[in-house]
Chain A
Amino acid sequence: MREELRNKFFDTLLRTLNYAIEFADERSYASLRFMDLFQQLLDLQKLISELRDDKFYDELRNKLKERQIMVNRDERKKLQKELLKIFIEEWKKRKRRTSSFQNL
């Protein structure tokens, strides 16, 4: 159950980020709106007891600190790329962990 919640939360957050990236080059607020949702979901993580101790989300929060995502589109795009990279690294890490556990 905990693992399922962990995966679902990770997936939802990452999908939200990818929606934001999808609209990054459009002249609309869509990308910004999705980044806002992304931040709100990230705040939610701290309130979910099963996820509270997951350090991965702190890493994302640290990336978001003091970034001008509200006013600067280029900065926002750069940040989105950096966040995506962190997600993929984390997924690779988790996958390695799972497969080495299965090989025991």
Chain B
Amino acid sequence: MEVLEAIRTRRSIRSFRSGEIPDEDVVKILEAARWAPSAGNRQPWCYIYVKDKETLRMVKNCSPGFYGDAAAAIVINIRREAGMLGFLDAGFASQNILLAAHALGIGSCAIASFNKEAIREILEIPEEWDPILIISLGYPDKIPPPPYRKPLSEIVYLNMYGQRWEKLEGRTEE
């Protein structure tokens, strides 16, 4: 799948059909995360791939934002001292994960609403790491329609804040 197409067609999936994800595909997804940009090449991240059914069930129980019977999940952690740049790095890596999964036909959803301390306890994450995002993975059951996006003319300025770029006016979505 071409990158721009993957970006445009990816959706947050909250309804999954049953089916285990081959380990080889998950490795490809994690490789995509590994190659995400990182400020100063610090790579302040680590990933916990949860595929054990009982552990996944408990992760889900402690994550109010986790919907659907996903086959697995990736818990993204950053080093406690990584600060804002750590969050940015994890954001880049997360997007790589979402796009790589989509390119492989695997649905995903980024989940920020979870009980951090409970997840730490369940997955035995040491204090120096903070779990900051969970990504559910599974084969999509229902694919939602494209959500509304603000037009470029509303969110892009040319050269300085507030200056409209005429090229974008009246532009229809591609």
Contacts and interface: CB of A to CB of B under 8 A. Distances in A.
Interface string A26-68: 0000000000000000000000000000000000000000000
A98 B54 contact: yes
A75 to B, nearest CB: 18
Contacts of B122: 88, 91
B118 A22 contact: no
B15 interface: no
Contact of B115 (A11, A18, A98): A18
B113 to A, nearest CB: 7
Interface residues of A, number: 15
B7 interface: no
Q: Is the interface of A mostly helix, strand, loop or mixed?
A: helix
B63 interface: yes
Interface string B36-68: 000000000000000000110110111110000
Interface residues of B, number: 15
A88 B121 contact: yes
B68 to A, nearest CB: 14
A66 to B, nearest CB: 25
Interface in B101-132: 113, 115, 117-118, 121-122
Contacts of B55: 95
A91 B63 CA distance: 16
Interface string A66-104: 000000000000000100110010010001001000000
21 contacts: A7-B57, A11-B60, A11-B61, A14-B61, A14-B62, A15-B61, A15-B64, A18-B61, A18-B62, A18-B63, A19-B64, A21-B115, A81-B117, A84-B62, A84-B117, A84-B118, A88-B58, A91-B54, A91-B58, A95-B55, A98-B54
Interface of B: 54-55, 57-58, 60-64, 113, 115, 117-118, 121-122
